Amino acid sequence: MIALSLAHIARAIGGDLQLSSDDTPETVVSGAVDTDSRLMMPGGIFVAKPGETTDGHEFVDAAVSAGAVLAIVERPVAASVTQIVVTDVVLALADLAREVVAQARARGDLRVVGITGSNGKTTTKNLLARILEGEGETVSPKASFNNEVGAPLTMLRVTEQTRFLVSEFGASAPGEIARLAGLVTPDAGVVLMVGMAHAGGFGGIEATFHAKSELVRALRADGVALLNIDDPRVAAMAPIAGEVGASVRWFGRGADAEVRADDVAVAADGTRCTVTVDGVSAPLHLQVLGEHHVSNALAAIAAATAWGVSLADCVARLETVEIAERWRMQPMGSQRVRIINDAYNASPDSMAAALRTLAQITSADERKVAVLGAMSELGEYAEEEHDRVGLLAVRLGIQRIVVVGTPARRMFLEAVAQGSWDAEAVFFETADEAYDYLVGELRDGDRVLVKSSNSAGLRHLGDRLGESFS
């Protein structure tokens, strides 16, 4: 975090400053901010967030022992550390993030880019961060820090030397992206796609469109909206950019995109294509598996080149990325039995993309195996969308469809209804049962996709399979 006095922090978050004997209002702190006492570092700021099962106030002493010099709390605690008492620590965290980014802008040349979309946010964030790191200090989210706590914690890692802040904005309800993006007023905003992810929380696809467009509305007047020309709903956000005074830069496969990909070829070692930026072309070999990640790479290139990074530098840095993130199209196992662990998150769109990738990278003498779990947060659309996945798996010629968990059972039933009834589709209640089956069933030449939402827990099944067949 940038250096701020205790008095400055207290004013920024509207709290009551209660000093320890060693501090004054002008004492300066600049350590890392965290809500987890186990991650506290010397000189850090501990935010005592109440949780569903634990209360951060019970861990203030542990945070102090680890080196915390300030605690932000909702009630005073008996600990030998300066405390700022606020009404709501989550709101205080957001207020502090807003102030830190504002101070960093005033003190230096900080540029902020926000990324949203129903799928691909984390991959795009990592790709863009890899490009920008070559230009200067870049702060980006750890894992999927994109909610009301994770996004501010990322913002609070900004220092006086930071040149780029990459923020990932997720949401499960309208208004959340507006609140998060409003903390930083981005210079650039990337919108990847409007799909069915979280549709249950939003109330449908049109409500999802309005929620994702909140990022475009939050842009600075001289900012730029990086929009996916291939998604009609994203393309429909262009007039919103005009309303706030931002320009539009298109990326995608469409002929009118300023940042475009052609000649896309998918293989087991990644995806190759030709990228064209404002009329200049270069070949790209993206090691991250899946044709759908080409769009994420184009989004990253569009943002970086809008800020003056050359296409050559973008390509060179992207080609060093081996995986998007753990549990996201992560190759495991061996050449004998290849496991693709993509079970951190799932939506109808990402499930379809992963299944198509499995079909594309499996040769005629190899066998396609899909281990599938439930997609969460679909609400009233859950049954229909799980049916669609089962149907698609059959149409793609997946030879073994292994469905795990009662919430995903409709995938199995639909696959059977579509003809995968002769042991081609199987169902198991638990991941342990599926593991026992797969260890005995998988053979040389199998290519295995493990795909589900995080809540289904199949990412750990993927890890076990990867280790067993390594």
The residue among 182, 106, 104 whose CA lies nearest residue 136 is 104
Annotated ligand binding at 122? The verdict is yes
φ, ψ for residue 159 (rounded to 5)?
-120, 180
Task: Evaluate whether 374 touches 453 at the Cβ level (below 8 Å).
Answer: yes
What is the DSSP code string of 113-147?
EEEE-SS-HHHHHHHHHHHHHTTS-EE--STT--S
Q: Is 116 annotated as a binding residue?
A: no
Q: Is 168 helix (H, G, I), strand (E, B) or coil?
A: strand
Over 390-452, what HEC string results? Answer: HHHHHHCCCCEEEEECHHHHHHHHHHHHCCCCCCCEEEECCHHHHHHHHHHHCCCCEEEEEEC
Residue 291: partners with Cβ closer than 8 Å, 6 or more residues away:
264, 266, 271, 353, 356, 357, 360
Distance CA 96, CA 10 (A): 9
First CA to last CA distance, the chain: 41
Buried b / exposed e across 155-184, counting CB within 10 Å, b at 16+?
A: bbbbbeebbbbbbbbbbeeeebbbbbbebb
Helix (H) or strand (E) holding 94: helix 89-107
Distance CA 322, CA 293 (A): 12
80 is in an annotated binding site: no
Q: Is 121 labelled as part of a ligand binding site?
A: yes
Q: Do residues 45 and 73 make contact, with C-beta atoms less than 8 angstroms apart?
A: no
CA-closest candidate to residue 1, choices 93, 76, 117, 65: 93
Indicate the annotated binding residues for ATP: 117-123
Q: Which residues are annotated as a binding site?
A: 117-123
